Amino acid sequence: MSNHGVGGVVCMTTLLSLGAFLSAHGGSAKSSFTSSAGLSAEASGLSRTGVPDVSAGRGAPAELIIAVQDPQPCYGAGNTVCFTLSMQNLPQPVTGFQAFLQYDPTQLTYQGALSSYTSSPFGLHVQGITTAEIAPGQLNLDGSIDFSIPQPPTNANSLLATLCFTVDAGNDGEVADLLQRVFGPFQTAVSFQGSPIPTTFIASGGILLDEALPTLTCPANQPLQCITELPAPLAPADPNLVIPSDNCASAAVVCNGTYSGSTAGATNDGSTSCGSSSFSPDVWYRFTPGSAGTLTVNTCGVGTNFDTVVSIHSASCPASPQTELACNNDSCGAASQVSAAVVAGTTYLIRVAGAGGATGSYELHVSGPECLAAADNCDPDPVVTWQGDVSDGNTCPETITRTYRVTDIGGNFAECQQLFVINDTIDPVIICPDVLNLDCATPLPPPANTVLAFQAQGGVVTDNCQVASLTMVSQELIRGTGCSASPFFYLRTYRAVDGCGNDRVCKQSIFQWDMFPPTITCPPNATIQCDESSAPANTGSATGTDNCGTPTITFSDATNLSGCLGTGTITRTWRSTDNCGQFVECVQTITVVDTEAPTLVCPSDISVDADTGCDGAVVTFADPAVTDNCDTSPTLVGCVPPSGSLFPIGTTTVTCTAQDDCGNIGTCTFDVTVSNVNNVTATVQLQGVAALSPISRCIKFIAKSGTSCAPPVHVLVNFTGNPATGTATFPVACGEWTELCAKDEQHTLFSTISLIDLGTHYQAAATQVLRGGDTDNDGDVDINDVTFLLFTFGGPEAAGGCPWNGNRGADFSNNGIVFSEDYTFITNNWLQITSCNCSAFAVGTTTEAALAPAVRISTRTLNADVAARADLNRDGFVDHLDVKLFEDARGLPNVLSNRMRHDGRAQSK
């Protein structure tokens, strides 16, 4: 324990070490303090005279002081009280302290969690504050400077610790102390480096424990006729504590009792109407009665030693004769007595002054209605609070219970109750509004179902307490038709009811009739066509208003319609009549005209192809339909150009004209367009192809005459049946055509057939049969087509597009796959050559050229993937030998290979 002060005992090892430490430093294990323990002067290190024993090497004793923190007169059960432990008047620097304390554990319970050491001057505490209670009622406190963190000794006055306790129940009227206890050889002392320094222990007086309840007397119960608000809760007063105020605004609260005071040293704060005291020094009190009655105050006691003037005022400051309720001077000798009627809950001021400026002491007696009075055995000033007002929920009467609570400083409390019984037995007063005369356009004022609405209409309603409700009980129509000779007569009955059901009624008369004629507004003058209706629904109707309802609107006509198709004028007179027979009129003029031309409905635009020969087309059309709004038989003048004319190539507008009986002319137009093309109809058949379900192929058509050809036309033709047959109608460039070529560019050879001139279009003379086998669209079936068959055999057909996109195809059967049936098409059409013969082809070209078909091809001219599939014997050529291997591998007859072999020999000769 070197570097520490004297520590609290934690275990026996600590005790032995501490004794050795004290011996080594010249210390003593004796206690060194004066206290109620009654130790001798020798034991305390003091001489018997109380003078410090210098020969013992000790200075003047230091002080360890126990004091109550924030003391109060008494403490109730559950209150928390804290004590402070301080060191003061140190004769020399110290480095530690220890304190052994005791208390009654049946009175106090130690609260270690609320207790604390101070952080300085002793940063090291050997005994923890939360575990300082080593046994019931026994505390060990121990602290010293922590020399591991260099700190100097101190001789400053310091707070060492705060010790907190909870007050236990069951100790009413007892005193709880916190005292020193004796603990073997150890001392309650401050120390220097382990050596005790003579220390005086000083403990405060004990705290008083209080569980007795305070007392509280409520004001008397009050019957009230009726109120809008209860009297305000009262503030208590204690005659023994009231000190008069020099200022009326801060007057002290008093109740019934006797109060002593003096005006000596006071200033003037008000004036009265009697006794020449308006400029005298004065003092003030405040009185609030719990019920209505008479307040009497006097200074007639033996404690009054000067000529007094006493007055009672309302609570308004500064007090003056204008606020004075009563004033008296010298009713009992030089003393005074005065009385005034007071109302429950209202605050009044009491003024005490001297006649002619006299001052002195007095004894003031207050007698009046009850107010709050509280007392406690321990707390001289218990707190009185208003807890609230609770109604019993009834009415007439209603009982409201007011509860006050008095609480002493220890938390003990008691309550009392004051009852207010509220009732009302007086009827309200009600006077209805004056008689009303109203035009029928003015609605009856709404019933007044509130007091404010009733008063706004001129009524009067009052009650001694308050009007709970005001309603219109009934409204009756007594008589009348609503016209001036017989006005409507209404009678309203109102009832006012107060809060306790007392009621009164009154009646109001209201007269209402039609005071004004109606109004009318004519529709604007109108112009209509001869076929339009002149009824108001078409030409407009007059409108009218009336102050008493909806008027009746009528009209009469004067006509003059002598023009063509019934044109002319109509003069219309409108009348508005109200329910009382009053009316007004206005005039509207309607003009009937015919300005609409006949309506023609032309045929729709016509689009035709040129007739063969291309000089235009003869076009016929029906006459347009003609109608008129008034003329039942309008005249069709005609169309230009007329029907049956030869229309040139291009667009020609036809204009048709009609006229009605009033001379109005109408027209319509439509266009005839002759296209610079001729229609061709052709039927095409795919040789050897069965269309068990519809198939579509892109067919290329070329119209020709000799070697002159129209631009090719590509048509997607739908084929059905067996053989697959389809018909197409398509336009070709306008010309004198004699033949028609047709070809599926992905599969077939050309077919050429004659055209029949039908005047308006061409038609193929017979069905054009297309033979499959031409995969490269060169106009023949040769080794190139066989090579592509071998390359794509077993695979799907390539998409072709329309026009043909150049994708080669060997699916001549159109079943979606290249297989043995497609071999038959090559075999059947081997070395066939066709052409459209539109023009002479340049040398070296192959497009539709009638060049000699090949029967043998070098693989060097083929793509590698094609050569790999087609050159089956790998001799660098695709010829009959490869086809034979192909036929043998697939069980096909050797017809094609034999032909190729034969034709190959023929070509080599």
pLDDT tens profile 614-669: 888 999 999 999 999 999 999 999 999 999 999 999 999 999 999 999 999 999 99
pLDDT of amino acid 221 = 80
CA-based end-to-end distance of the chain: 136
Listed residue (14, 50, 68, 33) closest to 180, CA to CA: 33
Cβ-Cβ contacts under 8 Å for 91 (sequence gap 6 or more): 59, 60, 61, 62, 155, 197, 198
What average pLDDT does this structure show over 295-320?
91
pLDDT of amino acid 458 = 94
Judged by DSSP in three states, 905 sits in helix
Cβ-Cβ contacts under 8 Å for 523 (sequence gap 6 or more): 536, 539, 540, 541, 542, 588
Encoded amino acid at 69, one letter: Q
Listed residue (623, 630, 637) closest to 666, CA to CA: 637
Q: For the ranges 244-253, 257-266, 845-854, 874-883, which has the lowest average pLDDT?
A: 845-854
pTM, full prediction: 0.41
Q: Which two tokens stand for residue 19?
A: 């004794």
Q: For the ranges 139-143, 151-155, 172-176, 375-379, which has the lowest average pLDDT?
A: 375-379
Q: How many CA atoms lie within 13 A of 244 on its CB side?
A: 26
**Model confidence over 789-817: pLDDT tens digits?**
999 999 999 898 999 999 999 999 999 99
For residue 440, count other CB atoms closer than 10 A to its CB.
21
Strands of the sheet with 337-342, listed across from one edge: 257-262, 361-367, 293-298, 337-342
Distance (Å, rounded) from C-alpha 773 to C-alpha 822? 8
Q: For the ranges 57-71, 156-170, 321-335, 396-410, which has the lowest average pLDDT?
A: 57-71
Q: How do the residues of the chain divide into helix, strand and coil, expressed in percent and rounded to 5?
A: 10, 40, 50
DSSP per-residue string spanning 173-191: T-EE--EE--BTTB-SEEE
Listed residue (615, 621, 632, 628) closest to 678, CA to CA: 615
pLDDT of amino acid 908 = 64
Distance (Å, rounded) from C-alpha 305 to C-alpha 299? 10
> How far, in whole angstroms, is CA 139 from its chain's centroid?
62
Give the CA radius of gyration of the chain.
Answer: 67
Peptide bond into 397 cis (omega under 30): yes
Strands (E) across 246-336 are located at: 252-253, 257-262, 282-287, 293-298, 308-314, 324-329
Distance (Å, rounded) from C-alpha 623 to C-alpha 638? 8
Cβ-Cβ contacts under 8 Å for 537 (sequence gap 6 or more): none
pLDDT over 60 (residue 37): no
pLDDT over 80 (residue 11): no
Cβ-Cβ contacts under 8 Å for 662 (sequence gap 6 or more): 564, 565, 567, 594, 630, 631
Encoded amino acid at 447, one letter: P
* Pairing relationship of beta strands 606-609 and 282-287 according to DSSP bridges: unpaired
Q: Chain-wide mean pLDDT for the chain?
A: 87
Given a contact cutoff of 8 angstroms between Cβ atoms, the answer to whether 665 and 659 are in contact is: yes
pLDDT of amino acid 491 = 95
Distance (Å, rounded) from C-alpha 516 to C-alpha 576? 13
CA dihedral 795, 799, 805, 811 (to 10 degrees): 50
**Highest mean pLDDT range out of 319-328, 422-431, 710-719?**
710-719
Listed residue (211, 272, 217) closest to 79, CA to CA: 211
**Model confidence over 444-460: pLDDT tens digits?**
999 999 999 999 999 99
Q: Which two tokens stand for residue 135?
A: 């046994």
pLDDT over 80 (residue 135): yes
Tell the residue number behind the tokens 């554990």, with chain if given: 105
**Model confidence over 470-508: pLDDT tens digits?**
999 999 999 999 898 899 999 999 999 988 889 999 999
> How far, in whole angstroms, is CA 235 from its chain's centroid?
49
pLDDT of amino acid 153 = 93
Given a contact cutoff of 8 angstroms between Cβ atoms, the answer to whether 440 and 459 are in contact is: no
Distance (Å, rounded) from C-alpha 573 to C-alpha 586? 6
Confidence of residue 8 (pLDDT cuts 50, 70, 90): very low
pLDDT over 90 (residue 162): yes
**Model confidence over 842-900: pLDDT tens digits?**
333 344 444 579 999 999 999 999 999 999 999 999 999 999 999 999 999 999 999 99
Distance (Å, rounded) from C-alpha 282 to C-alpha 247? 8
For residue 368, count other CB atoms closer than 10 A to its CB.
23
Distance (Å, rounded) from C-alpha 268 to C-alpha 123? 61
* Pairing relationship of beta strands 503-513 and 436-439 according to DSSP bridges: parallel
pLDDT over 80 (residue 12): no
Q: Which two tokens stand for residue 637?
A: 């003048």
Listed residue (494, 438, 488) closest to 470, CA to CA: 494
Given a contact cutoff of 8 angstroms between Cβ atoms, the answer to whether 746 and 808 are in contact is: yes
